[in-house]
Structure 1
Amino acid sequence: MPALPFFHRLDRYVLGQLVLALALVTTGLVALIWLTQSLRFIQIIVSHGLSPFVFVKLTALLVPSFLATILPITCFIVILFIYVRLAGDRELTIMRGLGLSDIKLARPALALAVAVTLLGYALSLGVVPWTLSVFRSYQYEIRNQIAAFLLEPGVFTPVSSNIMVYVQSRGTNGSLKGIIIEDNRDPNDPATILARTGELMTTPRGPVVVLENGSRQQIDPKTGQLDLLTFERNTLSLAQAARSGMPDDTDAAEIPLHDLFHPPATLPSGDSAKWLVEAQRRLTAPLSTLGYALIALVAALGGGFKRHGGLARIIGAVVIVTALVALGLGVNNLAARNTALLPLIWVWTLLPPCITGYLLLRQGAPRA
């Protein structure tokens, strides 16, 4: 039994390399995805003159969803790379010479995979839905609440994608003078609104402007003539589609797991299926980490190794994992169209680790 602590040190040695590599690879990929995805928010920030802090907060809320998505893949990459490198450096040969079977050699990788799986559940079941909900609310606030209050005198300001506002002057209390509004929210019935004075106000459903002594001008689509409607007082919403909390305004990714299994009766059948698929995806996606990790272990530990050999097994493992990722997307789409196929999501998740676990056990006897 005196050799037991030495084996424990070997586990810690391999696990340390795996954890370090996983941290570096995951951080790099998250940073890359964050950079590419954040580009679409730069226009919102720049066009409305918001601070860099707003940009950082907005994009940081997306990081947990990126992390939950890539963790199974990065875990597979790291395990495959580290074990192939250990084999190429003859370290695995030495460990086998000490009597370690493939099962014992795989212990550090399996420990890492279990930890990543638990982290994936924490992200998918709790952190990601919450951050996506906060992200959507914050994005709505920027596009509707904040943007409307950044109206600059003498400048045509795009409050949203289909509302353009011009004010001649603006008071510190929200009063406006010389107002022109181009309202294209209805593409078949655009309108130009003029008003002498007005006041900008905030409401729970977004910013509104109270117009006084103005007119609304529209072209009649049937006659082609200009229709002019004058008013003494009129209230116009400057918000985009309001986040009212109705089911069709809510993304399934933001819904708590319990609610996903009990969609509202008012929800369209197609959206109800998406909610059920999202629930199954959250329960199964973290488990894919175990399957991918076992595929990497079977490829890296199976057969004899040469310093520059084993390329076919490496390519084969990459191809299998790529096919499983694509198959998972296809299964989710099929289940969304026909909920009777929901069990396929579990089959896709559990079958690979069962097969690869069996293969690893078959080759698990100590080898010189």
Structure 2
Amino acid sequence: MKLIERYIFMRAATAFLMTVTVLTAIVWLTQALRDMDLVTAKGQTILIFISMTSLVLPTLVMTIAPFAVLIAVAVTLNNLNADSELVVINATSAPPWVVVKPIVILGMVATLMGGYLSLYAAPEALGSLRGFITQVRADLVANIVKEGIFSEIEDGMTFHIQKREPNGIMRGLFLSDERDPQKHIVYSSEFAQIIETNAGTFLSMENGTIQQQQTKATKSGELDETNPDFASVNIISFDSYAIDLSKFTGVDDSQPKFFKPRELTTDALLNPAKDDPTISRQPGVARSELHDRFTNPLYNLVFATIVAAFLAQVRTTRERRGSAILVAIVLVSGLRLAGFGLTSLAIQTPVAVPFMYALPILSILLGLWIVLSGRRLTAMDNLIRIMELFNDRILHMVGKLRRKPKPKAPILEP
């Protein structure tokens, strides 16, 4: 790159890194505070808390990166215009590519970074997070549940043990599961122990019973959760029984591997096993997730080229560059929302898949054609003028409200 190109790229890259760091930190903090109960109420260490919440960072960066590109490119080009640097570059008869090239390179770097996060890092991190949550739940039962105390490890899930042996065996276990409003299940056993195998983590119980109680139905056929049907209580005695603690993670317990499509690796989505329960039960979600991993990074380049198409050309202050920035933001936001819509539509039908690729690719080509040809499209200028008129009307209405005299209070005669 030439000196001026390196200068523009460094300014845009610095703004991008600062923006993505700040936005990711803000969003991460809001997400982390939601899981603070792992430390405060459920006895986990701060190290486990940080480890778990950090696993969502690849997904956050991947989602925030296009908007960070938008902010970085808009700030960089707007500052270059405000400092008359774009005027100087234009006066030297430099081609439009001199200004556009660093912006496109930034978009490509962000696209490659987003591709790595989308295809590899984010799925691996989410899969690890699923296993982490399962392990935390198991640790909660094994170490946090206290003797003689009813401990609620999840809404509707209550544990109680009479005594804990040094070898890890729990005596007199009581487990109440009321998460399903249609049935109430109570497990009780003389002995219980946490067992870890290759298939998962299990709560093994010996010499106990399972009591399942249904709720009564009203005349209309709906279940009355406040009216238990004691006549329908089923009691099953067992010598040995095990519960998979993975189902405490909130995933459908009918899925043996307990993974959602977004938590599967890209290779597992490209070459699914015939007996994969996740893909067989949710083929549309798996299809949409796979193609979204390839198309989502492209929006980094979409945002860079579309914003450059509006701001890479020299504009005077009369043309209200702020209106051009606002129109560019509205346009790229609309394109991103359309992308989300196509991703959701791909769950229902595979016909939407080609459009998932066509939308970002055509947007990139259109943006590059505008900036490289040096043209200012009439439609683009009309959008900016409409935005200016809209702003003028709002400012005029606000000014009239400010100048409107307040009615004087009536003077009461004595």
TM-score (structure 2 length as normaliser): 0.77
Asked whether the equivalents of residues 184 and 214 of structure 2 are also in contact (C-alpha less than 8 Å), the reply is no
Residue 87 of structure 1, CA deviation: 0.4
User: Which of 269, 280, 287 is matched with 1:260 structurally?
Assistant: 269
Which stretch has the larger CA shift, 162-171 or 102-111? 162-171
* 2:169 is the alignment partner of 1:169: no
- 1:60-94 Cα offsets, whole Å, 9 max, x none, are 11101111111112112101111101101112112
3-state DSSP of counterpart to 1:154: coil
Asked whether the equivalents of residues 215 and 228 of structure 1 are also in contact (C-alpha less than 8 Å), the reply is no
Q: Distance in 2 between matches of 1:116 and 1:189?
A: 50
* 2:68 is the alignment partner of 1:81: no
Tell me the C-alpha RMSD between the 2 structures: 2.9
Q: Flag the 1:55–1:227 CA change in 2: closer, same or farther, 3 A.
A: same
Residue 159 of structure 1, CA deviation: 3.5
3-state DSSP of counterpart to 1:116: helix
3-state DSSP of counterpart to 2:159: strand
Q: Distance in 2 between matches of 1:189 and 1:270?
A: 24
Q: Flag the 1:291–1:194 CA change in 2: closer, same or farther, 3 A.
A: closer
Q: Distance in 1 between matches of 2:214 and 2:69?
A: 62
- 1:309-351 Cα offsets, whole Å, 9 max, x none, are 3122111100001101111111111222111221111111111
Q: Distance in 2 between matches of 1:246 and 1:42?
A: 28
AA in 2 matched with 1:104: V
Hey, what does 1:4 align to over in structure 2?
Answer: none
Q: Distance in 2 between matches of 1:17 and 1:27?
A: 16
AA in 2 matched with 1:251: K
Hey, what does 1:311 align to over in structure 2?
Answer: 322
Counterparts of residues 315-354 of structure 1 (less than 5 Å) = 315-354=326-365
Q: Flag the 1:178–1:312 CA change in 2: closer, same or farther, 3 A.
A: same
Asked whether the equivalents of residues 160 and 239 of structure 1 are also in contact (C-alpha less than 8 Å), the reply is no
User: Which of 106, 129, 133 is matched with 2:127 structurally?
Assistant: 133
3-state DSSP of counterpart to 1:190: strand
* 2:26 is the alignment partner of 1:32: yes
Q: Flag the 1:350–1:182 CA change in 2: closer, same or farther, 3 A.
A: same
Structure 2: which 5+ runs fail to align? 217-228, 377-414
Asked whether the equivalents of residues 87 and 93 of structure 1 are also in contact (C-alpha less than 8 Å), the reply is yes
Residue 241 of structure 1, CA deviation: 1.9
Counterparts of residues 1-368 of structure 1 (less than 5 Å) = 8-143=2-137, 145-149=138-142, 150-184=144-178, 187-195=181-189, 197-204=190-197, 205-212=200-207, 217=211, 219=213, 224-225=230-231, 233-237=239-243, 239-241=245-247, 246=255, 249-265=258-274, 271-306=282-317, 309-363=320-374
% identity of equivalent residues = 22
Structure scoring higher RCO (CA < 8 A, sep ≥ 6) equals 1
Q: Distance in 2 between matches of 1:340 and 1:186?
A: 37
Residue 274 of structure 1, CA deviation: 2.0
AA in 2 matched with 1:76: L
Q: Distance in 1 between matches of 2:7 and 2:164?
A: 67
Residue 307 of structure 1, CA deviation: 8.7
Q: Distance in 2 between matches of 1:353 and 1:187?
A: 51
TM-score (structure 1 length as normaliser): 0.86
Q: Distance in 1 between matches of 2:364 and 2:185?
A: 60
AA in 2 matched with 1:93: V
Q: Flag the 1:113–1:184 CA change in 2: closer, same or farther, 3 A.
A: same
- 1:128-153 Cα offsets, whole Å, 9 max, x none, are 1111111111111112x211112111
AA in 1 matched with 2:265: P
AA in 2 matched with 1:250: F
Q: Distance in 1 between matches of 2:79 and 2:214?
A: 73
3-state DSSP of counterpart to 1:249: coil
Hey, what does 2:408 align to over in structure 1?
Answer: none
Asked whether the equivalents of residues 182 and 214 of structure 2 are also in contact (C-alpha less than 8 Å), the reply is no
Which stretch has the larger CA shift, 57-66 or 253-262? 253-262
Q: Distance in 2 between matches of 1:136 and 1:232?
A: 31
3-state DSSP of counterpart to 2:368: helix
Which stretch has the larger CA shift, 78-87 or 168-177? 168-177
3-state DSSP of counterpart to 1:342: helix
AA in 1 matched with 2:365: C
Structure 1: which 5+ runs fail to align? 1-6
**How many residues end up aligned between the 2 structures?**
356
